[in-house]
């Protein structure tokens, strides 16, 4: 499988992604294009950019970041532990414009009491936004953490009409 990288310049960050014609294996938020390229090289080695390969994804991102209600339904390729996969798949079901708690995720994958483990699995989410871990908050309604920074999480939630 030949993998490529691409990026989208969102209003507050560079959205960088890696994948193939089969689906995404990584999507994250970066301070700059240089930051994205450096981190991708460290993790994946030398990868060629191919924006054309990600044309459909870029169209989805443009709609999303312009504030249009957009279901980010895009093919992904996941690798993780059984627990991580269950968490990521459940979180992918959280609708646009809604939030759920870490506790809710744990309960709904049959692991009541594993809210902290859910947080750890989400910290390792390889495909942010498509697996919308930004929609998972603490049970008291406070924002919780986010691997790319709480400010990015807050901005994503605002795009979806959620103020915490």
Tens digits of residue pLDDT in 49-80: 998 889 999 999 999 999 999 989 999 999 99
4 — pLDDT class (breaks 50, 70, 90) = very high
pLDDT over 90 at 132, yes or no:
yes
Mean pLDDT (whole number) for 85-105: 97
Cβ contact 39:57 at 8 Å: no
Would strands 136-137 and 100-101 be described as parallel, antiparallel, or unpaired?
A: parallel
Fold of 82-159: Arc Repressor Mutant, subunit A (1.10.10)
CA dihedral sign, ordered 103, 105, 108, 113: negative
Q: What length does the chain have?
A: 164
Report the mean per-residue pLDDT for the chain: 95
Model-level pTM greater than 0.95? no
The pLDDT score that the predictor gives to residue 111 is 96
* Residues identified as active-site: 133
Residue listed under structure tokens 């936004």: 129
pLDDT over 90 at 164, yes or no:
no
Cβ contact 29:14 at 8 Å: yes
The enclosing H or E element of 16 equals: strand 14-20
Q: What is residue 156's three-state secondary structure?
A: helix
Q: What is residue 95's three-state secondary structure?
A: coil
Domain chopping of the chain, boundaries: 4-65, 82-159
Residue of 19, 20, 3 whose CA lies nearest to 28 = 19
């Amino acid at each position: 499988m030949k993998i490529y990288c691409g990026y989208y310049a969102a209003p507050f960050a560079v959205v960088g992604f890696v994948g193939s014609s089969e689906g995404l294996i990584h999507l994250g938020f970066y301070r700059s294009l240089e930051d994205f390229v450096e981190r991708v090289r460290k993790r994946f080695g030398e990868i060629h950019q191919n924006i054309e390969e990600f044309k459909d994804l870029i169209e989805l991102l443009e709609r999303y970041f312009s504030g249009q209600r957009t279901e980010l339904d895009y093919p992904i390729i996941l690798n993780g532990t059984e627990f991580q996969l269950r968490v990521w798949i459940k979180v992918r079901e959280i609708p646009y414009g809604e939030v759920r708690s870490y506790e809710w995720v744990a309960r709904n994958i049959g692991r009541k009491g594993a809210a902290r483990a859910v947080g750890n699995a989400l910290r390792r989410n390889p495909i942010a936004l498509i697996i919308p871990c930004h929609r998972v908050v603490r049970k008291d309604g406070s924002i919780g953490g986010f691997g790319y920074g709480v400010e990015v999480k807050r901005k994503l939630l605002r795009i979806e009409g959620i103020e915490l």
